[in-house]
Amino acid sequence: MAAKRVLLVDDDQSIIEVQKMYFEKEGYQVSTCMQGDKAVAAFETFNPDIIILDLMLPGMDGNDICREIRKSSDVPIIMLTARTDTLDKIIGLELGADDYVPKPFEPKELLARVKAVLRRTDRKSVPQEQTEEENKSKEIVSYPGFVVDKARYVVTVDGEEIYMPPKELELLFFLASNPDRVFTREQLLENVWGYEFYGESRTVDVHIKRIREKIEKPDQSQSWAIRTIWSKGYKFETK
């Protein structure tokens, strides 16, 4: 099996050196970048399996880099920041980051998070022995005027394709695949982000809010909707 490729983007030389040493010791292939305005080019050239991305960078900040990469790729991204503001974390997750690590951190913790994210990514691989039609049927959920195609990562509402970052689409797909069943925030974190996810339940609220803004109509004329069950969680309700 080919070594996983990690792109480290950080303007702190000491962090770059320590993390590069840890990842290479574990068998990863590592490329580094210390300038924000060169990060997208480094991503396109190196084609990594995962990106470790600092928020505060010279030339272009981590949020802008994440936004730019998400236009063409769903490669896993773990954001790093020395800030403690919850808003920064929310913005990063909304832009499509898969995890968020505050500085300072233990190198072994970041390595563990990378392994966890890559395990979730690998589990999405479709078994070769399944037929194309079987795979297709399992990756599509549809209701009147609404389709979530997880194979192509496309959401269609009333014939219009709607862009969603990977985690938003995966959350919507999971809820729509289990209609009228209530899930707690912890259950959604567990099933969509994985057992190893280190985030907070607030992450679910942020993603639900963004999904609703994109798919639900103000007049609630659709025969389906994401409902908040107070003190419990959320469900995909069908009428």
pLDDT digits (tens, 9 = 90+) for 114-145: 888 887 766 554 444 444 444 455 788 999 88
**Residue 143 belongs to some domain of the structure:** yes
Which amino acid type is present at position 45?
A: T
Q: Whole-angstrom Cα distance, residue 107 to residue 128?
A: 36
State yes or no: pLDDT of 200 exceeds 70. Answer: no
What is the largest distance, in Å, between two alpha-carbon atoms of the chain?
56
Give this prediction's pTM.
0.58
Nearest-angstrom CA–CA distance, 192 and 148: 15
Residues 115 and 154 in one domain: no
Looking from the CA of 233 toward its CB, the CA atoms found within 13 Å total: 16
- At which of 88, 103, 123 does a domain end? 123
CA 193, distance to chain mean position in Å, is 8
pLDDT at 201 (0 to 100)? 67
CA distances to 78, 90, 102 from 49, rounded to whole Å, are 12, 23, 22
Tell me, yes or no, whether 117 and 57 share the same domain.
yes
> 73 and 138: one domain?
no
The confidence band for 2, taking pLDDT boundaries of 50, 70 and 90, is: confident
List the CATH number of the domain containing 206: 1.10.10.10
Q: Pick from 58, 89, 123: which residue ends a domain?
A: 123
| Domain span including residue 216 | 133-238
Please report whether residue 128 resides in a domain.
Answer: no
